Structure 1
Amino acid sequence: MAEDSIKRRKFLYGTGAVGITGLAGCSGGDGGDGSDGSDGSDGSDGSDGSDGSDGSDGSDGSDGSDGSDGGSENLSLRVGTSAGGTQDVGLAVERAVSQESDALEYSTIESPGYVGTIRRMANNQFNAGITDNNSLSKAIDERGAFADQPVDRIPNYGFFAFPYSIYIVARDGTGIETFDDLAGANVYPAEPGYSTRATTLDVWSQDPTADVYDEMNIQNMGVDSAPGAMEEGNIDATIAYGTPGVRYTGFVQEIASRVDVHYVEPTDALRESAEMYAGAGSGTTSYADWPIADAEIGTDEVFHWNLEVNYTFNPEANADAVYELCRVVDEHNDVVNEGEAQFNDFAETSEMLGSARENIPVHPGAVQYYKDNDAWDDNLQEGGS
């Protein structure tokens, strides 16, 4: 790397010294690649409680995986990453770090789903991980998979990695035109255990859409069975999801290839539910920019709720290491995108905070990076001890 680049990085670390000195030792308490139909969590949200407590991948901390012993001369991040598309993103980031940083050691560690990643980070299996806002919010509030098995430590937010955006399509001939028509219909919200399913049901089951949700016949089957069930008429409507402008998950593409489907128009109630649910984002995308298998679904634009997937870090993770990773994905965003288009394309540094939430603290190393680049949002919490 060029000498002036190295000097610049050291200068940036120096400007943040007041804000991050000593923080490295502070203590603190799914969508796929379109080929396997997974949601990036390998079909599991970790609800089985698996936390890797056998220590088979470093829970003894002997390699410094808790991030507490890494000084600025030896920056290291072990990143827990689910299978499928999430792992593809993680590997693209790892390649970018290898090419563009002479200071940071980054290693990808396979992890069982987004909830499982949070559990393993709590047990020091690794000091960083890719997980989602909904799972993080549930961990903070001890809801869902964390109601009976809470964790003592919850990761800090780092930056927005990518969304899985979700909407509804119905089989032609069902008479389903709007969300309200799903009452009494056989509806498939993806495979049980998928994070996209959990987020969808969380959105639907709250007021003002709970009355429609309560009358749905929710279908429980693997994603490999869904296209055939849709073709045979056993599923009337399904969620469609993927990363806008990039691709859809595999079973959605297969359904659109085998069955004539159309867009289910959102009601005002559905829009309100999606926009008010704290664990999800929402938005719209031009269908021309994100078609399913060249299918015509009868709309120019789709409204979607989003499973927001983030890079997160244990509070003890070395602040300089987190800072350096933020720098790489920001300054060399094109290198990451060349490796995996699913990763967000940041037009400016502030977009790295695109999925940040006031209830989820931001890691001190990331906070310093955003402050140094005039991108910090004072409405957010700063993590630490």
Structure 2
Amino acid sequence: MASRQIDRRSFLQVAGGAGIAGLAGCLSGDVEAVSIGIPGDSSTTGQSTQALQSVVQSESESIRFDAEDSGGDPASIRLYNNGEIDGYSASNFISTNALNDVEPFHEDPVDGIAYQGFQIGVLELHWLALDGSGIETTDDLLDDDITVWMLPPGWGLRQLSNTVHESIGIRDELETNEIDADTGDIAGRVDEGDVDALISYGANGVNLPGWATEVDAREDLYAVEATEEFREGAADAEGVDTGTVEAYGYDQDLDADEVFTWRETFQFFFSEDMSADVAYEVAEISHEHWEDARDAQEAYPDHSELDTMTSAYMEDQPIHPGVADFLEDQGAWDDSWTRGE
């Protein structure tokens, strides 16, 4: 079995050179610093985590909640397993893959995932084409002269998309004409004419991630029509939810009232070593001050509704005992859930 360890130098490279604000679980006087891995500053979950970080900083006298760029939720899960971070935001899809040693964990598995915390959002992925590309349907994505961007390779959303397109039977063909670019570079690559079509997504029916907003501002875009074969193949992908949604978040008309989407739910996950008091207070702050978090990220969920916080729980996976205590005190605990030790 390949080594599961990620050394300090590797972590800093994965995190794009971002320094660690504090050691995992570090105590400074009466303040406990907790580090939370995020996919990146321009991602929706990253921005939502930073929004909660700001509110915790404002409302708590005992917690320092630090968002740390890991480069993707698979990397966050590895860093958690290596004891580098105290929690992370991740999709249920990639968490299930980690539990089952499925790609991207098939060659280098991890010991497990952190305790479930609470839901942070639902992302809805779809294909867009650039004006002048000549693309009409998803069949056209496979033309030899079409260049595509399918999200950063390190992201769980990329793995989700890989699974969808593998189920359809076109993953290898798409990757033949793919460009490799981070979210911070994709708007520039689009500007330079290097991209004909890309995968984008909206969050919680509200808005786009920062990088997609920048692409939207720079270029004329339109929705790619999903063929029946594409829809059926995507729906057959194990563990993937598909459907259609109204196009939202864009400042331009996508020439379609609806887009075909594959969806994924994200949660916060907290280490079993995080104290129950800290997890309790973070959940309580998100519940009571979600509107303040929404001031920073419009798509931050309405956590005044406890069902919104708990609707993404995976069956048979433990919930952090501090979050469980909070839900019990709110009268929102369900005995079918599993409480962490």
Report the TM-score range of the alignment, normalised by the length of the smaller protein.
0.7 to 0.9
Question: Separation in 1 of the partners of 2:51 and 2:218?
Answer: 32
Tell me the SS of whatever aligns to 2:53: helix
Deviation sequence 1:335-366 (CA, Å, 0-9, x none): 21123323223351011123322264322222
Change (3 A) 1:290 1:359: farther
Q: Of 130, 133, 136, which residue of structure 2 is paired with 1:177?
A: 136
Tell me the SS of whatever aligns to 2:151: coil
Determine if contact 2:90/2:266 at 8 Å carries over to the other structure: yes
Indicate whether 1:63 and 2:26 are aligned.
yes
TM-score (norm 2): 0.77
Indicate whether 1:51 and 2:10 are aligned.
no
Determine if contact 1:164/1:196 at 8 Å carries over to the other structure: no
Indicate whether 1:105 and 2:63 are aligned.
yes
Matched length = 322
Equivalence for 1:319: 276
Indicate whether 1:138 and 2:94 are aligned.
no
Equivalence for 1:9: none
Counterpart mapping for 1:87-166 below 5 A:
87-102=46-61, 104-113=62-71, 114-166=73-125
Q: Of 33, 36, 50, which residue of structure 2 is paired with 1:80?
A: 36
Equivalence for 1:167: 126
Question: Separation in 2 of the partners of 1:226 and 1:109?
Answer: 23
Equivalence for 2:288: 331
Tell me the SS of whatever aligns to 2:319: coil
Equivalence for 1:204: 165
Question: Separation in 2 of the partners of 1:373 and 1:121?
Answer: 29
Determine if contact 2:136/2:224 at 8 Å carries over to the other structure: yes
Change (3 A) 1:97 1:190: closer
Counterpart mapping for 1:218-257 below 5 A:
218-223=177-182, 226=186, 235-243=195-203, 244-250=205-211, 252-257=212-217
Task: Tell me the percent identity.
Answer: 26
Equivalence for 2:14: none
Determine if contact 1:170/1:236 at 8 Å carries over to the other structure: yes
Change (3 A) 1:382 1:308: same
Determine if contact 1:137/1:360 at 8 Å carries over to the other structure: no
Counterpart mapping for 1:280-291 below 5 A:
281-282=241-242, 284-287=244-247, 289-291=248-250
Question: Separation in 2 of the partners of 1:282 and 1:371?
Answer: 33
Tell me the SS of whatever aligns to 1:149: coil
AA in 2 matched with 1:106: R
Indicate whether 1:306 and 2:263 are aligned.
yes
AA in 2 matched with 1:315: E
Tell me the SS of whatever aligns to 2:84: coil
Indicate whether 1:369 and 2:340 are aligned.
no
AA in 2 matched with 1:203: V
Equivalence for 2:15: none
Tell me the SS of whatever aligns to 2:57: helix
Change (3 A) 1:245 1:49: farther
Deviation sequence 1:178-223 (CA, Å, 0-9, x none): 33443435332123333332221122212xx12x444434403225
CA displacement at 1:168 relative to structure 2: 0.5
CA displacement at 1:284 relative to structure 2: 4.5
Deviation sequence 1:145-204 (CA, Å, 0-9, x none): 322322224211111123443100123455533334434353321233333322211222
AA in 2 matched with 1:362: I
Larger-gyration structure (1/2): 1
Determine if contact 2:138/2:230 at 8 Å carries over to the other structure: yes
| Consecutive unaligned residues in structure 1, runs of 5 or more | 1-47, 66-73
Equivalence for 2:224: 264
CA displacement at 1:279 relative to structure 2: 5.5
Question: Separation in 1 of the partners of 2:5 and 2:35?
Answer: 17
Equivalence for 2:305: 348
Question: Separation in 2 of the partners of 1:58 and 1:259?
Answer: 37
Deviation sequence 1:42-78 (CA, Å, 0-9, x none): xxxxxx977345799599868369xxxxxxxx68450
Determine if contact 1:58/1:125 at 8 Å carries over to the other structure: no
TM-score (norm 1): 0.70
CA RMSD of aligned residues (A): 3.6
| Consecutive unaligned residues in structure 2, runs of 5 or more | 12-18
Question: Separation in 2 of the partners of 1:381 and 1:271?
Answer: 35
